[in-house]
Structure 1
Amino acid sequence: MFDLSLDLVLMLVGAAFAAGFVDSIAGGGGLITVPALLLAGIPPTQALATNKVQGAFGAATAAISYARRGLVDLHSQRRAAAIAFAGGLAGALCVAALPTQLLRYVLPVVLIGIALFFALKPGLNDLDRTQRMAPALFSLTVVPAIAFYDGLLGPGTGAFLMLGFVMLAGYGVLKATAHTKLLNFASNLGGLVAFAAVGKPLWLLGATMAVAQVAGATLGARLAMRIGARIIKPLLVVTSTGLALRLIWQML
C-alpha cells in the first residue's frame, strides 16, 4: 500500500478538480493529474493506472451532463462506445509489446497542428457542417484507432477525437465535445480494465480523486454548454499546446 501524507492527498484532489473541469471542456485533464501523481512519488505504471480510475469518473460525468441536454444520444452511440472500450483495452494490453518512441516524437507536432487548426480555422462554431464520413464508417475506423492510442499512450486523445468529429463527422464544436467525452469514457474504461490487471492502481486514492473529478467535470460541462465554442476552442488550443510543450520538455 502506497502511503501518502494528507497534504499530498489534498494536492492530488485539487489537481483532479482542475483536470475534471478542463477535460470536460477541451480534454487534456491527464496533463494535470499524471504529473501530479508522479510528483507525489507514485511509480509511473501505478500513476497511469490510478489516473485511469479517477479519469473515467470525470469523463462519465461530463458525458452524462451533455446527454441530459440532448447533445449526445447515449443509446444510439452504444456501439461506438463499445468499440472505443475494446480499442482502449487492446491498446493498454499492448503497452509493453509495441514500440512507442516514434509516436512520442511525432505527437508534439500533431498536437501543435491541431492547436493551430482550431485557432486559425475560420467558421468553427457550434453549428453542424458538411459530413465527410458516414457514422458507421467513422465508428469502425476512426474510433478504434484513437481508442487504441488512448490505451497505448493517451496524451491528446480528446483533441484527436474533437478533430475527427469536426472534420469528418461534421459536428459543431459543442456537439463534438459531447461525443468526445462519451468515447473518451469508454476508452478510459477499457484501459482501466487492462491496467487493473497489471498496473495495480491505488483504488482508494483514485476514488478520492474521482469525487473531485466529478465536481470539476460537472462545472466544466455546464460552462461549456452555456458558452459553447467561445470557451471550448481557446481551451482546446491551450491544452493541446501545453501538452505538446510538456512532451518536448520530457524528450529534452
Structure 2
Amino acid sequence: MLAAQRASGAQIAGLILPVSLSLMEFALLAVAGFLAGLIDAVAGGGGLVQIPALFSAYPNVAPATLIGTNKVASMSGTATAAVRYGRTVRIYWGATAPAVVTAFVFSLLGAWALTHIPAEPLRRALPFVLAVLLVYTVAKKNLGADHAPSLKGWRERAAALLAGAAIGFYDGVFGPGTGSFLMIAFVRVFGYDFLHASASTKIVNLATNVAALLLLAAKGHVWWQLGLVMAVANVAGNQVGSHLALRHGSRFVRKVFIVVVLALIMKTAYDAFIR
C-alpha cells in the first residue's frame, strides 16, 4: 500500500513539475511563452515558438503531454487578448459564435485523436498547406485591407460551422498555425479585414484551447507548474501584441501575418523532412 502511494505521489509530482528542468531551461521556456503570446495576439502562430521550445527541451516526452502543457499557456494568453480586442473592436457574432461551438466540440475530438493516432501524416502535409495560404495572401494585395462582411444568414452560419469544425479538430490534434488558418478563414470566407479577423480568431482559438486542455488534463497530459509559468509570460506577450495590433491596424497585422506564415513553413518543413 505504501509503495503504491509513493508511486502515485511520484506520478502526481511528474505532472506538476518536470524533474529534469534546470533554471536556465525554465527561463528560456518563459521567454518562449512571452514571444509566442506577442506573435499570437497580432497574427496567430504563437505555436511556432512555444511548441518547438517544449519539444526541444523534452525530446523524449510524449507529444500529448507537451501539447497539453502548451495549451495552459496558450489559453491564458488568448483569453487576455480576446478581452482586449473585445473592448476595442466590434465582434461580429453571426460568424464567430457558430465557429466557437463547432471549434470547441471538434477540438475535443482532435485532442482525443492525438492520444490515439500518429500525427506524422499531418506534420508532412502542413508545410504545403501553409505555402498555398502564403502565396494566396501575397498575391491578393488587398486581401484583408477593407472590412466588408460578405455572407449573411444561413450561409454565414453554415460556413462558420464548417470552418470551426475543421480548424478546431486540427488544433486539438496538432496545433501550429491554428491562428493563421482562422485568420485567413475570417478574411477570405467572411470578408473581414485583418484587424476584425484577428479579434474573432482570438475568441474561436480560446474555445479550441479550452476544449483540448480539458481533455488532455483529464488524461493527465499536463505539467501544471511549467504551464502556469509559461502562461504568465504568454499573457504578458499577448498584452504587448494586442496593443501593437490595435494601434497600427490591419496593414500591420497583414505584414506580421505574412512573416509568421513564412516562418511556419520553414519550421514545419524542417521538422517534417530534415530533422
Using structure 1 for the length normalisation, give the TM-score: 0.92
**From 55, 58, 61, the counterpart of 1:38:** 55
The answer to whether structure 1 residue 106 and structure 2 residue 115 are counterparts is: no
Q: CA deviation at 1:147?
A: 0.5
Equivalent AA in structure 2 for residue 182 of structure 1: I
Equivalent AA in structure 1 for residue 51 of structure 2: V
User: Does the 8 Å CA contact 2:245/2:252 hold for their aligned counterparts?
Assistant: yes
Q: CA deviation at 1:76?
A: 8.6
Larger Rg: 2
The aligned counterpart of 2:192 is 171
Superposition RMSD in Å: 2.0
Equivalent AA in structure 1 for residue 23 of structure 2: L
Bigger shift: 129-138 or 181-190?
129-138
The aligned counterpart of 1:203 is 224
**From 164, 180, 195, the counterpart of 1:143:** 164
- Change in CA separation of 1:173 and 1:76 when aligned onto 2, cut-off 3 Å: closer
The aligned counterpart of 1:6 is 23
Taking the aligned partners of 2:95 and 2:183, their CA distance within structure 1 comes to: 19
The 5 Å alignment of 1:231-242 reads 231-242=252-263
The aligned counterpart of 2:103 is 84
Bigger shift: 232-241 or 178-187?
232-241
Taking the aligned partners of 1:126 and 1:142, their CA distance within structure 2 comes to: 21
Give the aligned length: 252
Query: What are the superposed Cα offsets for residues 26-51 of structure 1, whole Å, 9 maximum, x if unpaired?
Result: 11111111111122226133211100
Taking the aligned partners of 2:127 and 2:94, their CA distance within structure 1 comes to: 35
The aligned counterpart of 2:72 is 53
Taking the aligned partners of 1:215 and 1:194, their CA distance within structure 2 comes to: 26
User: Does the 8 Å CA contact 1:20/1:217 hold for their aligned counterparts?
Assistant: yes
Equivalent AA in structure 2 for residue 35 of structure 1: P
User: Alignment partner of 1:228: what SS?
Assistant: helix
Q: CA deviation at 1:132?
A: 4.7
Q: CA deviation at 1:168?
A: 1.0
User: Does the 8 Å CA contact 1:25/1:220 hold for their aligned counterparts?
Assistant: yes
Equivalent AA in structure 1 for residue 259 of structure 2: V
Equivalent AA in structure 2 for residue 140 of structure 1: L
Bigger shift: 17-26 or 223-232?
223-232
Taking the aligned partners of 1:109 and 1:170, their CA distance within structure 2 comes to: 24
The answer to whether structure 1 residue 21 and structure 2 residue 42 are counterparts is: no
Q: CA deviation at 1:14?
A: 0.8
Query: What are the superposed Cα offsets for residues 161-197 of structure 1, whole Å, 9 maximum, x if unpaired?
Result: 1111111111111101110111011101111111112
User: Does the 8 Å CA contact 1:15/1:32 hold for their aligned counterparts?
Assistant: yes
User: Alignment partner of 2:100: what SS?
Assistant: helix
Mark the runs of 5 or more structure 2 residues left unpaired by the alignment: 1-13
The 5 Å alignment of 1:181-200 reads 181-200=202-221
The aligned counterpart of 1:248 is 269
User: Percentage identity across aligned positions?
Assistant: 38
User: Does the 8 Å CA contact 1:62/1:181 hold for their aligned counterparts?
Assistant: yes
User: Alignment partner of 2:114: what SS?
Assistant: coil
- Change in CA separation of 1:81 and 1:51 when aligned onto 2, cut-off 3 Å: same
Mark the runs of 5 or more structure 1 residues left unpaired by the alignment: none
User: Does the 8 Å CA contact 1:132/1:167 hold for their aligned counterparts?
Assistant: no
Taking the aligned partners of 2:98 and 2:190, their CA distance within structure 1 comes to: 16
Taking the aligned partners of 1:138 and 1:24, their CA distance within structure 2 comes to: 24
Taking the aligned partners of 2:137 and 2:250, their CA distance within structure 1 comes to: 10
- Change in CA separation of 1:130 and 1:69 when aligned onto 2, cut-off 3 Å: closer
User: Does the 8 Å CA contact 1:46/1:201 hold for their aligned counterparts?
Assistant: yes
- Change in CA separation of 1:72 and 1:89 when aligned onto 2, cut-off 3 Å: same
Q: CA deviation at 1:240?
A: 1.3
Q: CA deviation at 1:125?
A: 4.1
